[in-house]
Structure 1
Amino acid sequence: MNKELINDVVMNRIVAVASLLLIALPVGIACIVLGYGMGDNPCALCWQERTAMVLVSLIALFITRYGLKPKYIGLLLLTSVYGLFAGFRHSAPHMLRDIGQGFGPAIMGVHTYVWVMVVFLVVLIAAGLLMFVQGDKLIQWSEKTRWEGLNKTAANVFLVVIAFNIVQAFTQTGPAPFLGQGDPVRMSFNPQNIIWSAGKWDGLTNMSLRGGYGITKPNFTDMAVNDATRADAQSTVSAVKTVTLPAELDGAVTGISYNPSSKLVAVVTNSNWVAFLNEDMTQVLAKAEIDPNFSVEISNLAGVAFDSDNSVLVTADHKSFARVAYDPSARIADYYANFFEGTDGITEFKRGRFETARAKYNYVGSVGYDAASNEYVMVTLPDAKRNNFVEVRLSGKDFKLNSERVLGIDTKALPMVTGTLVDGDKLVMLSQSGQQLLTLDAATGIVVSATNLTEAGNLQALTVQGDKLLVVDAAEGNNQVRFYIR
């Protein structure tokens, strides 16, 4: 099969042409035409993609010079897979933008970071075809396989393009640890316009394949208190009563909600349990462990809110949700796909994902329900990379985004809100980091008052029962509910 379809000379020339095309077209055009000609500067991710193309082209040259060896084939495949990943990583945050939006110049209507994926897919497909046509063993270079004009041309073009890239890299980006800009300015050789940025270098201890999108998931059992998030308080309140929740609740309670009509209390825990309790919270009426991988991934439960007399919306920290209800006639055996285990008495109606814009890259620590507008309300948890304080309102009718707005608060740092309660035209928020209750004016979106809570703790959930505000101090095996006069 080897002799019939392809020989060593033809294979050598094919690989040489592939190396030449790869270095001359995507790399050469990006550097010389777009860069030197049009002033386009690569961002930090562009440099990774360009580096992967250069390495694939270099490996192809090694093959033309030293033969088709397994170690070169392996390196070529590994480098191409890395390049494909780099292109996907770069494209992911941009491909779902509004029509026509993107980053950098577009070629035939397609931005360069998308072309990267096309290039490496072509490389992988071509490599697979070349391996297939060789039959049962790799072609060996013979005395007929010479380092001829085509090979020398490919090598010389490679060196020229590399020289242009070296100049661009060290003048526009700088040496390590400068890794390039996230939003690069135009290419310039004027020192006043050149920016060397280390903003994309977080050190070895904070490395993440998601880069700026590597947001730390909240740990609801270990959230720090931060005085910088405390607002000036108008009052201080002390608990008038404390109730310890039943020990059979698995995990730390991260959400609580009370319905005055049905006199039910619903709670969720970080261990993916949802439970319904009686009004005085001494008895678990029904409970179930939500299967986090069925249909929609939902784990690290963050909040719960009654949206009818017996149904609640349960949300995870990443805004996936499930609607469940207390139903004494329900049998746990009928919900194999929904729940891992539990007792009779719980049904699941719906599971889905809330999609947001301003809050897209923030986790949440709570959910509330506004019966007047039939909306679920969430407030983002700020992060060093996405320091946002956003109120999100989502439709209880079609479970789509209704509105988002940036909230205002007079503090040195943004609070970590772990409880949300709609109270007429006010939004009451529980600040775990500030150990406070914050009141938001619905009309202005500004925190207008704050109340200090005397009892400190891992404050993770908030609801109202009559004239009392209920605050959960969460701890596995010792979840306590504190009652405060409204």
Structure 2
Amino acid sequence: MTPARQLLLFRLINLIALLALLGVLTGSLDLQILVGEQPCPLCLLQRSGMIGLAVGPIMNLLWGMRPAHYAVSILAAFAGGAASTRQILLHIATPGDPGYGPAFAGFHLYTWAFITFAVGAAGCAALLLFSSQFSLGDTGVLRRKGALRIATLTIVVWTSVYLIIIAVTVLPECGLGMCPDDPSSTGGIPTPAGFAGLLLVIFGSFAIAYLLDRRLPSDDE
């Protein structure tokens, strides 16, 4: 395989991982905004871990493949996994405890979060074994126009919007102190309006990324 194809392969792997994490975070936002399930303190830690897990692939795509970037994701996975483990143990320690929040495919969301962190850490560790990616002279897509830069910037913008939404929705409930262990449901937004809002965020992120791609300098010019 030529170096160019190798580089494209590793970039696509990182992009696919980011899209998977984007799906998980979008699902959590859907649960919070549309269903009205407000996040507990451990839930917020797990969401933070998910965002940290995404930082490594984002850095790989923007600035090039580096072992340190994978290390950032692995550390975030351990931190998020610790929060997930804590929440799992809280509920299995009490006989008859139905668990917190809704279940999906037989598992509660914090169990799925633990699985996500475990897969993420293992995936990053496995990718570190392919040391050839670090000697390809990769400088990232930040200074190269194209679909990969637009896709990466879309994810960066969406993640930033996600953080803003979380801050805006959580601060009224938690203030500057600790969030309640069992926050009350807000009832959610009616599905058509909430779904339209999520689509607006996604397409808005893409539009901003497209404009950034047009304005950012490029080595191709």
Shift of 1:143: 7.4
Pair 147,17 (structure 1): closer, same or farther in 2 beyond 3 Å: farther
Other-structure match for 2:18: 19
Other-structure match for 2:6: 7
Q: 2:60 aligns with which of 46, 50, 63?
A: 63
Structure of higher RCO (CA pairs closer than 8 Å, 6+ residues apart) = 2
Identical positions, percent: 20
Query: Counterpart amino acid of 1:67?
Result: G
Measure the CA separation in 1 of the matches of 2:71 and 2:11. Answer: 17
Q: Verify the 8 A CA contact 1:7 1:139 in the aligned structure 2.
A: no
Q: Which runs of 5+ in 1 are unaligned?
A: 190-486
Q: Verify the 8 A CA contact 1:8 1:140 in the aligned structure 2.
A: yes
TM-score computed with the length of structure 1 as normaliser:
0.35
TM-score computed with the length of structure 2 as normaliser:
0.72
The 5-angstrom pairing of residues 64-143 of structure 1 reads: 64-98=61-95, 101-134=98-131, 138-142=134-138
Other-structure match for 2:178: 179
Q: Verify the 8 A CA contact 1:173 1:179 in the aligned structure 2.
A: no
Q: RMSD between aligned alpha carbons?
A: 2.9
Pair 3,131 (structure 1): closer, same or farther in 2 beyond 3 Å: farther
Pair 50,125 (structure 1): closer, same or farther in 2 beyond 3 Å: same
Query: Counterpart amino acid of 1:29?
Result: G
Other-structure match for 1:252: none
Answer with 1 or 2: which has the greater Rg: 1
Measure the CA separation in 2 of the matches of 1:144 and 1:94. Answer: 43
Q: Which runs of 5+ in 2 are unaligned?
A: 189-221
Measure the CA separation in 1 of the matches of 2:66 and 2:87. Answer: 32
Tell me which protein shows more helix as a share of its residues.
2
Other-structure match for 1:51: 48
Measure the CA separation in 2 of the matches of 1:52 and 1:144. Answer: 24
Shift of 1:34: 0.8
Pair 132,90 (structure 1): closer, same or farther in 2 beyond 3 Å: same
Q: Give the length in aligned residue pairs.
A: 185
Pair 86,134 (structure 1): closer, same or farther in 2 beyond 3 Å: same
Q: Verify the 8 A CA contact 2:60 2:66 in the aligned structure 1.
A: yes
Q: Verify the 8 A CA contact 1:56 1:76 in the aligned structure 2.
A: yes
Deviations 1:358-394 (A, max 9, x none): xxxxxxxxxxxxxxxxxxxxxxxxxxxxxxxxxxxxx
Pair 173,104 (structure 1): closer, same or farther in 2 beyond 3 Å: farther
1:62 partner SS: helix
Pair 14,151 (structure 1): closer, same or farther in 2 beyond 3 Å: farther
Measure the CA separation in 1 of the matches of 2:25 and 2:55. Answer: 12
Other-structure match for 1:223: none
The 5-angstrom pairing of residues 331-410 of structure 1 reads: none
Measure the CA separation in 2 of the matches of 1:141 and 1:180. Answer: 46
Q: 1:156 aligns with which of 144, 154, 157?
A: 154
Pair 19,139 (structure 1): closer, same or farther in 2 beyond 3 Å: farther
Structure 1 runs, 4 residues or longer, greater than 6 Å off: none
Measure the CA separation in 1 of the matches of 2:6 and 2:118. Answer: 25
Other-structure match for 2:215: none
Measure the CA separation in 1 of the matches of 2:187 and 2:137. Answer: 46
Tell me which protein shows more strand as a share of its residues.
1
Measure the CA separation in 2 of the matches of 1:120 and 1:159. Answer: 22
